[in-house]
Amino acid sequence: MGACFVFDLSSIEMNLENRLFELLVDHFDLSKELTSIAFLTIAVLVILLVVWLSNFLFKRFVLNFIRSLPEKRKTYGSELANTNIQNRLA
Mean pLDDT highest for which of 69-73, 77-81, 83-87?
A: 69-73
The Cα 18–Cα 24 span in angstroms is 10
**Cα of 21 vs its chain's centroid, Å:** 26
What's the whole-number mean pLDDT along residues 19-29?
80
Q: How many CB atoms lie within 10 A of CB 24?
A: 19
- The answer on pLDDT for 45 being more than 80 is yes
This prediction has a pTM of 0.55
